[in-house]
Amino acid sequence: MTSERKFIVPIGPQHPALKEPGHFEFTVDGEIVTDASVRLGYVHRGIEKGAEERSWIQDLYLFERVCGICSHVHATAFALGVERLAGVEAPPRAQAIRSLVAEMERIHSHMLWLGVAAHEGGFDTLFMYSWRDREIVMDLLEALTGNRVNYSANVLGGVKCDITDTLRDQILRGMDQLEERIQHYLNVVTTDRTFLARTEGVGRMTREQADLFGAVGPTARASGVPRDVRVDAPYAFYPTVPVQLITDERGDLLARFVVRIKELFEAVRLIREILAHLPEGELTVRMPRRIPAGEVISRVEAPRGELFYFIKSNGGEKPERVKVRTPSLCNWGSVMQVAVGHKLADMPMILAGIDPCFSCNDRMIQLKRKDSRQWMTWEDLRQYGIEYYKKVL
Amino acid sequence: MTVEEHLAQAKKIVEPFAVEMASPDPWRLDVVILPANLIPVLQALKDAHWGYLSAITGLDYPPADGQEGQLEALYHLVMNGVVLTIRVKVPYAHPELESVCQVYPAASLYERELMEMFGFVLKGTPSTERLLLADDWPQGVYPLRKSFQSGKAQEEQA
């Protein structure tokens, strides 16, 4: 007997599954979801409007703060777009460093996701291990740029951090360590029986659906859609170090795990390639303060997929309009359609499967002590932390 | 297929509907069309499996020199390295466009953004509920129109 009455399960805005606020409504018939809707905007900050009221340089920092996880790709997309408007090209060494930071960011983002997704699947050991190993790349990002999040590696016309020989060796050592761990994770997610029971055949999105709903990034590639901006329209240093496209035909949650983990291998390979082919030379070129009138589209491959910037200048010191379309928005559209027909209990995993953007904590590495004018180094702060907790315990 | 071939294919499909065509970058095609042709042109592109709808940008042209205000919607379609932009302008007085969800179902989220940020009226769109703005945001106030001033801008003027 089917009932005419609908039962709606509201989830959010604050809830344990996702670390960022979002509101979902699932209409269910027994255990099976028959309709799904999403309400976003709880962390809407009006950045597009804010950009129209700030200078081009201020906007670089503003857009870097769209996302705490993939901040670098936002700044890169904006910088590449504005540079094209101004008819300026950043030097090859700067382009290489942009791609290098982007791949390191991809590693940190995918490993962060791996942990969160494992947690949603009730596999907290995997969550803790992957986040522990993620610290390797977080430390490298910090050594390179001075920050764990919002690295601020970009300036309009280039980058502001350089690679020394010591740092290069440090990064290569980190990559060796990570590669070993990534292999371990690939083995775990493809062989652990309880984990496979939560992922195999769950949340399947066919290639036709992925195409129709406009899914992007690993979500699309896990459904066999060959879509990657780094391959389709190479930018920054990718024309010099071509990216190997990774796809999987299965389209289920397992495929999304496999694609992202294989992309970790690819990122490690790219980082080694970039360091092997790092051009010598300047880090920046001069940028005009006023940007000539015109419109550009700037697309880059964020960890979650295609990031789209539309930038319009009226020839002044501030942009006329900047439109940002983040990959999560595309993937929300697709996942809400795919959710229908699945069990309510699978929803957390299916939602986490597209890697919706989560906030992460930021930390200071340098601080001014009250009693002195000295800056603390990272090592000092680390030691301070250890001593502090010894006292507390 | 190469960039040139994708561009040539797109050109062939949109040509019958185009009022104006331009190529701002070697891998881009900008096409101005009349609002009535929006669904036919997108349907033709979809039937030919040309790309996917990547984003919709809204632009505001406030009234100036006795000219009435206009809104423009830019539908960006992406095929590998090529971006095709379909541009449609509507006046403030009748900011009406046909919803494109019948062609691209996932466009619902983009359309909700377009409605609340610019005040477009999208006929046949599946959901007109707020997506991004707060529930108590006043009706008829569209933050991405040029006439809307943020707190920062008001402070600077005062």
Q: What are phi and psi for residue A321, nearest 5 degrees?
A: -165, 135
Residue type at B84 in one-letter notation: L
Residue type at A393 in one-letter notation: L
Query: Which of A39, A214, A334 lies at the smallest CB-CB distance from B54?
Result: A214
Query: Could you identify the residue written with the tokens 């910090």?
Result: A142
Per-domain boundaries in chain A = 47-329
Q: What is the pLDDT of residues B19-43, one digit of tens each?
A: 999 999 999 999 999 999 999 999 9
Going through A198-283 in order, the beta strands assigned E by DSSP cover: none
Long-range contacts of B20-25 (CB under 8 A, 24+ apart): B24/A294, B24/A295, B24/A296, B25/A84, B25/A296, B25/A297
Helix, strand, coil content of chain B in percent (nearest 5): 30, 30, 40
Which of A161-175, A289-303, A340-354 is predicted with the least confidence, judged by mean pLDDT? A340-354
Does domain A47-329 correspond to CATH entry 1.10.645.10? yes
- CB spacing of A232 vs B152 below 8 angstroms: no
Examine the pLDDT at A379 and tell me if it is beyond 90. Answer: no
Under the banding of pLDDT at 50, 70 and 90, the label for residue B44 is very high
A330 marked ligand binding residue: no
Give dist(CA A65, CA A71) in Å, integer: 6
Are A269 and A45 contacting, i.e. CB atoms less than 8 angstroms apart?
no
Q: What is the DSSP letter of B14?
A: H
A360 marked ligand binding residue: yes
Q: Which residues of B68-92 are buried (b: 16+ CB within 10 A; e: fewer)?
A: ebbbbbbbbbbbbbbbbbbbbbbee
Domains of chain B from N-terminus onward: 3-93 (3.30.460.80)
DSSP codes, B81-95: TEEEEEEEEEESS--
Chain B CA closest to residue A321 = B59
Which of A41-50, A129-138, A269-278 is predicted with the least confidence, judged by mean pLDDT? A41-50
- CB spacing of B106 vs A337 below 8 angstroms: yes
- The mean pLDDT of A97-110, rounded to a whole number, is 96
Chain A residues in contact with B144 by the CB 8 A cut-off are 48-49
Report the pLDDT value the prediction gives residue A213, as an integer from 0 to 100.
Answer: 82
Task: Pick the closest to residue A38 from A277, A245, A333 (CA basis).
Answer: A333
Q: How far is B144 from chain A (nearest CA, A)?
A: 6
- Total number of residues shown for chain B: 158
Environment class of A37 (CB within 10 Å of its CB; exposed 0-12, middle 13-18, buried 19+): middle
Which of A71-80, A209-218, A221-230, B39-48 is predicted with the least confidence, judged by mean pLDDT? A209-218
Examine the pLDDT at B83 and tell me if it is beyond 90. Answer: yes
Report the pLDDT value the prediction gives residue A385, as an integer from 0 to 100.
Answer: 72
Q: How far is A160 from chain B (nearest CA, A)?
A: 28
- The mean pLDDT of B101-126, rounded to a whole number, is 91
Note the ipTM here: 0.94
- Which residues of B sit within 8 Å Cβ distance of A? 24-25, 27-28, 52-55, 57-59, 74, 76, 78, 80-81, 83, 85, 104-110, 127, 129-134, 143-144, 148, 150, 152-153
Most confident of A118-122, A280-284, B101-105: A280-284
Chain B residues in contact with A214 by the CB 8 A cut-off are 52-54, 104, 106
Report the pLDDT value the prediction gives residue A381, as an integer from 0 to 100.
Answer: 64
The separation between the first and the last C-alpha atoms of chain B, rounded to the nearest angstrom, is: 57
Give dist(CA A375, CA A387) in Å, integer: 18
Going through chain B in order, the beta strands assigned E by DSSP cover: 20-22, 28-32, 52-61, 70-79, 82-91, 96-98, 121-123
- Which residues of A sit within 8 Å Cβ distance of B? 37-41, 44, 46, 48-50, 53, 84, 211-214, 232-233, 294-297, 299, 306, 308, 310, 312, 321, 323, 325, 329-330, 332-334, 337
Examine the pLDDT at A367 and tell me if it is beyond 80. Answer: no
Give dist(CA A90, CA A62) in Å, integer: 20
Report the pLDDT value the prediction gives residue A235, as an integer from 0 to 100.
Answer: 95
β A319-325/B121-123 pair status: unpaired
Note the maximum CA span of chain A.
76
For A221, the token pair is 């590639």
Examine the pLDDT at A37 and tell me if it is beyond 50. Answer: yes
Query: Could you identify the residue written with the tokens 């009706």?
Result: B139
